[in-house]
Chains A and B, each alone.
Chain A
Amino acid sequence: MVNLIKNVKRFLIKIGNVIKNIFWNIRRILNNYKCRISNYLDKKHLNPAGKFPGWAKALLYLSPALVVLLIFTFWPIINSFALVVYENYNMSNNTITGYTLFGNFIRVLTDESFIVPASHTASSAVINTLIIVFISVPISIFLALAISVALNSIKPLKSFFQTIYFLPYVTNTIAIGLVFAYMFKTDGGLVNEFLNFFGIQTDGLSWVESNAVYWRSMFVLIFYSIWASLAFKIMVFLTSIQGIDKQYYQAAAIDATPKGRIFSKITVPLISPMIFYITVTSVIGAFKIYNAIVALFGVTGAPPGVSYNLQSIVMYIYQFIDGSNAGNLSVAAAGSLILFAIILVLTIVQMQVSKKRVHY
């Protein structure tokens, strides 16, 4: 058996050598020609390689990326500033009725489902988004801190738990959102079944289906967004906790410091830059929530048969592309510029604070 394998191996190596020889011969011939051509060019003082300035070479390397970025990153920025000054832009026949400086912004800000709740509902895009931001971000940061401190204090099964906690990061938001909606089903949903098991009566308790109460469907949305965002935070916190110098903990252990004080006086201050960074990025992420809402409640952003809806700011923007009032992209551009302003302010705050180093 072993002999046979050896023979087969030898045969394969021989074939490989033949192919390699052919390949190298071709290369040799090509190189020969290349040398001849460059020699000829050198003689006539025409060799382009010697005369290339740095920026031309850089342009050569940058051009594939820059062409795409110019069309799909820089041009859209300019274009969106052009778009907001159009009045009644119509996408289908590319016509406008006039120009306006702040008209589109005013239209967004006074729209009855953006800041001010519409007359028949109790919620608007901004209110919904702010609720999601102010509830889901603090809870998920505290939970992630607790989990990563607990993970850091154990040895066996550590990498197993780490892998499990990382799972939500690599999943499809829409797919798992559908599973969550199924788990929170009224009849025969896992959650209602679970509550029944503990003796809580849940006859027809509706979470995401028709006639669900506002806070109940909001709870599902926040629960899902926390579930999905934990993975990244745990990962970052765990990396930075592992980077803390062990001497601090050894000194604390000699003084018999209680665990709670070690956490609040050593761990948290030393990773505070990371906590702050995560807070800002997750606030930005929560402001841009969209996929989770679509997965749980569909494109309308509301359970069937209710008077409110769970639109976020991004969802409000997208409804101008394909929604009830599609077509007027100027208003959408104005909305996204407002979102950009919010994010810009948050980023500037983060940069200013992290310059001062949030240690201690």
Chain B
Amino acid sequence: MDKKLFEKSKKIEKITFIFDILAIMTYIALFLILFNLLELPPIVDGRMNLDILQFMTPTYEFLGNTLDKWQMNSIISIIIIFMVVNIPMLAVNMKKNRTKTIYEINSYTAASKFVQAVINLLSFNIVSAVLRTYNTFIIIKFVKGYNVKEFFKSIIPEIKDAIAKRKAKKAQIIEDNTDDYSSSLKKNIRRQTTIHTFRLLGTYLFLVLMALIIIIPFYWMVLTSLKDFTGATTNNPEFYIGISRWNWINYKVVLTELNFGLYIKNTVIVAIFSTAGTIVTTILAAYAFARIEFKGRELLFSILIMTMMIPGELYIITNFITVSKNGLGWVGMPTGQNQYFLAMIIPFVTSISYIFFLRQNFKQIPESLYKAARVDGCSDFKYLTRVMVPIASPTIFTITILNVFSSWNAYIWPRIITGVGGQEGQNYWLISNALRDTAFVQEGGKVMYNLQIAASALVTVPLLIVFFAFRKYIMNGIGRSGTKG
């Protein structure tokens, strides 16, 4: 094995990443510019006239070219497809390049590099494509010892060789078949294989059918969110539409006119603060329950566990009284004195189930480590931050993600809180209650289904992105904790 070639291929891959990142930044910038250019319908009587949204045919000036609506849609769609393909590819490649050892390189690596080069070429990233192709040849040389020329020369002989081998094998099988006993045995084996194949086919068919039932709502959501009003309400809905008819303007209307930009900002604020609070309080409390000896520890802990059984509805009713004007006075006050964010964040800055989950994790860290640290003069707090937290960091990360998810999906509490105070409360809506309570209805009772579904997609897609990025943490965390929510 030539270690130098391996190092060289790694280095070239690193240089390729720079161009990949540049390309992705270009896509993002282009997307933002084009998305900003999209023309919204005119405002009539303080409301946007959404009825004419699908009949507008504006033209756009971009880099000296005049683009009509359909061309604009196609360009944005293509850029988005590029981003969807290239960003995960870059992330996976970066991770692989860091962890890949010299023993994991084989001819499949070369093939996948070549496929990636083709994808780069298709997404107009020519420099990366050239570099990756060059890298492919280096890996081929590393694995097989061929040069570029020898590689092309070796293709035809190798195919011939493979065919010849196959023929030889077939001939051997026919020769073997002469015996009477062995032929009956073979028949038996073949029958069993057939049964096995059918069973496997049935299993896969069942799994694919179930997977379709799971996937179809997501597909239908994305598809509908890109249709125009007629397309979304017609009697014969289309199951596929061409990229020139993907109406990205729907998302812009939802973000600006229907205020979902504001609601997403509110939700992000609530999610960040409540998650930060949860992490700090749960780590401290879990540490106290796991390591510090004090009287009544088990009693206090079992009381906490028992409260997990009580349904959340009980808390919500009385907590609403607590935060309203007869209690802490965060909501229900005269306009201008309400603290909606406080009321939405503070009740959720700690969680008993996460304390329980983290305590189990802390308890698995050997006690001897703690004693050794104490002998070396390490204080409790230092031990917690320097030893415990780094060891338990995967669990803490899982808790972070799950908590962000639950604040993103919170519905009833924000709805009750922002339900008081009329218009002022409406400015503090979080996305879930905005989704349910925003009027997607135009004059004459027309429900703008495409906009409604576009808003749903806007809520769902970030969740899916986070899920795919940190799939391992989330699935492990839920598998181990066995608790929901």
Interface residues of A (CB under 8 A from B): 1-2, 5, 49, 54-55, 57-58, 61-62, 64-66, 68-69, 71-77, 79-80, 83, 91, 94, 143, 146-147, 150-151, 153-154, 157, 161-176, 178-180, 182-183, 185, 187-188, 190, 193, 227, 230, 232, 235-236, 239, 259, 277, 281, 285, 288, 290-291, 294-295, 298-299, 314, 317-318, 320-322, 329, 332-333, 336-337, 339-340, 343-344, 347
Chain A residue at smallest Cβ distance from B285: A65
Q: Is the CB of A291 within 8 A of B313?
A: no
Contact, CB under 8 Å: A294 / B234: no
Query: Measured between alpha carbons, how far is A39 from B215 in the docked complex, in Å?
Result: 67
Closest to B284 in A: A61
13 A-B pairs with C-beta separation under 8 A = A54-B292, A57-B288, A64-B284, A69-B352, A73-B307, A80-B317, A165-B211, A182-B452, A295-B436, A322-B415, A336-B313, A337-B314, A340-B314
Judging by beta carbons under 8 Å apart, are B456 and A179 in contact? Answer: yes
Q: Which of A62, A76, A173, A182 contacts B285 (CB 8 A)?
A: A62
A231's nearest neighbour on chain B, judged by CB, is: B214
In the bound complex, CA of A173 to CA of B206 (Å): 26
Closest A residue by C-beta to B401: A170
In the bound complex, residues from chain A placing their C-beta under 8 Å from that of B217 are 176, 179-180, 183, 227
- The answer to whether the Cβ of B416 comes within 8 Å of any Cβ in the partner chain is yes
Taken together as a complex, chains A and B put the C-alpha atoms of A163 and B324 apart, in Å, by 43
Chain B residues near A173 (CB, 8 Å)?
A: 409, 411
In the complex, are the beta carbons of B432 and A65 less than 8 A apart?
no
Complex contacts, B296 vs chain A, CB 8 Å: 55
Q: Is B103 an interface residue (CB 8 A)?
A: no
Is the CB of B31 closer than 8 A to any CB of chain A? no
Looking at the assembled complex, report how far the CB atom of A79 sits from the nearest CB atom of chain B, in whole angstroms: 4
B30 within 8 A of A: no
CB neighbours (8 Å) of A281 from chain B are 484
B310's partner among A57, A72, A77, A299 (CB-CB below 8 A) is: A77
Instruction: Identify A72's interface contact among B218, B311, B347, CB under 8 A.
Output: B347
Most buried by B among A73, A179, A339: A179
Contact of B411 among A166, A294, A347 (CB under 8 A): A294
Residues in B with CB closer than 8 Å to A236 are: 479, 482
Q: Chain B's nearest CB lies how many Å from the CB of A310? A: 16
Expressed in whole angstroms, the minimum distance between the Cβ of B245 and any Cβ of chain A is 17
Band of interface residues on B: 35 or more
* Contact residues in A for B380 (Cβ distance below 8 Å): 57
Cross-interface CB contact of A333 among B282, B318, B449, cutoff 8 Å = B318
Complex: A179 Cα to B225 Cα, angstroms: 10
Distance A163 CA – B453 CA, assembled complex (angstroms): 24
Which residues of B are found within 8 Å of A336, using beta-carbon distances?
311, 313-314, 317
The stretch of B94-102, B139-147, B367-375, B458-466 that contacts the partner chain: B458-466
Tell me if A170 and B309 are in contact (CB < 8 A): no
| Shortest beta-carbon distance from B230 to chain A in Å | 10
Determine the distance from Cα of A270 to Cα of B57 in the docked complex, in whole angstroms.
65
- Contact (Cβ within 8 A) B411 A333: no
A321 touches B320 (CB 8 A): yes
Q: Does B350 contact A (CB under 8 A)?
A: yes
Chain B residues with CB under 8 A of A143: 210
| Residue B178 lies at the interface, judged by CB distance under 8 Å to chain A | no
Query: With the chains together, A171 CA to B456 CA distance in Å?
Result: 10
Interface SS majority for chain A = helix
Tally A-B pairs: CB < 8 A: 252
Measured CB to CB, the closest approach of chain A to B449, in angstroms, equals 6
Q: What residues of chain B lie closer than 8 Å to A1, measured between beta carbons?
A: 15
State A246–B294 Cα separation when bound (angstroms): 44
Whether the pair B307, A172 counts as a contact (CB closer than 8 A) is: no
Closest CB in chain A relative to B301 CB, distance in Å: 10
Contacts of A294 in B (CB 8 A): 411, 436
Q: For the complex, is B471 an interface residue (Cβ under 8 Å from A)?
A: yes
Contacts of B220 in A (CB 8 A): 179, 182-183, 190
Instruction: Check if B93 is an interface residue, CB within 8 A of chain A.
Output: no
B456-A176 in contact (CB<8A): yes
Given contacts A150-B207, A172-B432, contact A188 B11 (CB under 8 A): no
Contact A164 B292 (CB under 8 A): no
Tell me the complex Cα distance, A153–B284, Å.
Answer: 43
* Shortest CB distance B282–A (Å): 7
B203–A187 CB distance below 8 A: no
Q: How distant is the Cα of A339 from the Cα of B311 in the complex, in angstroms?
A: 8
Q: Choose among A76, A176, A285, A321 the residue that contacts B484 (Cβ–Cβ < 8 A).
A: A285
Residues on A with C-beta less than 8 A from B203 are 150, 153-154
Contact B214 A165, beta carbon cutoff 8 Å = yes
B148 within 8 A of A: no
Residue ID in chain B nearest A162 by CB atoms? B475
Docked CA distance A317–B412 (Å): 12
Q: How far is the CA of A64 from the CA of B285 in the complex (A)?
A: 8
CB A182 to nearest CB in B, in angstroms, measures 6
The answer to whether B317 touches A317 (Cβ under 8 A) is yes
Per CB-CB distance, the 8 closest pairs between chain A and chain B, nearest first, are A76-B318, A61-B288, A175-B456, A65-B285, A55-B294, A65-B281, A58-B294, A54-B294
Cα A147 to Cα B475 with chains together (Å): 17
Bound CA span A345–B411, Å: 27
A163 partner residues in chain B, CB cutoff 8 A: 471
- Chain B 199-228 interface mask (CB, 8 Å, partner A; 1/0): 110011011001101111110110010000
Q: Which residues of B contact A146 (CB under 8 A)?
A: 206
How far is the CB of A304 from the nearest CB of chain B, in Å?
11
Tell me, rounded to whole Å, the shortest Cβ–Cβ distance linking A175 to chain B. Answer: 4
- CB-based contact A193/B237 at 8 Å: yes
Shortest CB distance A275–B (Å): 13
B56 CB within 8 Å of chain A = no
Asked if B304 is an interface residue, CB under 8 A from chain A, the answer is: yes
How many Å lie between the Cα of A338 and that of B390 in the bound state? 44
Contact indicator A340/B311 (Cβ below 8 Å) = yes
Taking a contact as CB atoms closer than 8 A, the residue among A2, A232, A318, A344 that contacts B313 in the complex is: A318
Task: Decide: B311 and A77 in contact? CB cutoff 8 A.
Answer: no
Q: Are B292 and A58 in contact (CB under 8 A)?
A: yes
The answer to whether A68 touches B297 (Cβ under 8 A) is no
- In the complex, how many angstroms separate the beta carbon of B404 from the nearest chain A beta carbon? 11
Question: Is B172 located at the chain interface by the 8 A CB criterion?
Answer: no
The digit string for B440-471, where 1 denotes a CB below 8 A from any CB of A, is 00000000010011011101100110110001
Q: Would you call B233 an interface residue if the criterion is a C-beta within 8 Å of the partner chain's C-beta atoms?
A: yes
Q: Which B90-141 residues sit within 8 Å CB-CB of chain A?
A: none
Is there an interface contact between A172 and B409, defined as CB atoms closer than 8 Å?
yes
